[in-house]
């Protein structure tokens, strides 16, 4: 949750009775998974769609940058080549209020022996045609990006930091100006990073890290 100044604060609450929801299992019986490429795309942990167009999706791979489809996955095009200095993507988010605005957090956070690190955050304001680097280069591995549902310039980043050692640029960061500046709003220690971040859809001032 956030304080009045927007910083993240610890949250405590009383447990509410569990509300059991039932879904009709037959609704999903006819659905089947299929691979839609691209071939040898590598490990993927970041996927997001255009909230206004069900045919437009983006994904970020751990070794190939950001890819975009405008036809539901029939054709994929790399949209980050020539702009990104690193290829490993850990997080990706598309703005609900302006689908042309996309934030990408670099560096995979599925830690393994050969984990690939990134160089901060990139942003596009034209649906992936061009990109700008927004800093936070020493976060190395970014696990999640959340954008305010009504303000594409207000975004949060959950940064793991260095995968195998301490560093100060980790925790949760916030921008209110589209990435021109960042404030660290949650920090526990140089050995503790943020690996997930959720925003309450009914109250975007409430976040859980």
pLDDT in tens, 193-209: 999 999 999 999 999 99
Please tell me what DSSP assigns to residue 163.
S
Q: Which of 3.90.320.10, 3.30.360.10, 3.90.550.10, 2.130.10.10 would CATH assign to domain 36-195?
A: 2.130.10.10
Q: Are 104 and 149 in contact (CB under 8 A)?
A: no
Report the C-alpha gap between 118 and 140 in whole angstroms.
5
Predicted local confidence at residue 3, as pLDDT: 58
Closest CA to 123 of 114, 115, 135: 135
In this prediction, residue 8 has a pLDDT band, given cuts at 50, 70 and 90, of low
Contact status, residue 98 vs residue 70, Cβ threshold 8 Å: no
**Buried b / exposed e along 79-108 (16+ C-beta atoms within 10 A):** bbeebbebbbbbbbbbbbebbebbbbbbbb
List, for residues 103-161, the tens digit of each pLDDT value.
Answer: 999 999 888 878 889 999 999 999 999 999 999 999 999 999 999 999 999 999 999 99
The neighbouring-strand residues paired with 77 are 68
- pTM of the predicted model over 0.95: no
């Amino acid at each position: 949750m956030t304080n009045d100044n927007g910083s993240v604060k610890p949250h405590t609450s009383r447990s509410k009775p569990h509300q059991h929801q039932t879904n009709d299992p037959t609704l999903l019986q006819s659905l089947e998974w299929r691979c839609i490429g691209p071939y040898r795309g590598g490990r993927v942990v970041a996927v997001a769609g255009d909230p206004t167009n069900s045919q437009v999706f983006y994904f970020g791979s751990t070794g190939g940058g950001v890819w975009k489809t405008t036809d539901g996955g029939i054709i994929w095009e790399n949209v980050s080549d020539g702009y990104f200095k690193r290829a490993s993507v850990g997080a990706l988010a598309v703005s609900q209020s302006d689908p042309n605005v996309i934030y990408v957090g670099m560096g995979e956070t599925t830690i393994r022996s050969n984990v690939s690190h990134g160089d901060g955050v990139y942003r596009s304001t034209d649906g992936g045609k061009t990109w700008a680097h927004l800093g936070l280069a020493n976060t190395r591995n970014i696990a999640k990006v959340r954008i305010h549902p009504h303000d594409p310039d207000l975004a949060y980043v959950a940064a793991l930091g260095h995968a195998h050692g301490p560093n100060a640029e980790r925790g949760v960061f916030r921008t209110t100006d589209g990435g021109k500046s960042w404030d660290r709003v949650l920090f526990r220690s140089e050995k503790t990073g943020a690996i997930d971040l959720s925003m309450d859809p009914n109250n975007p001032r409430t976040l859980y890290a």
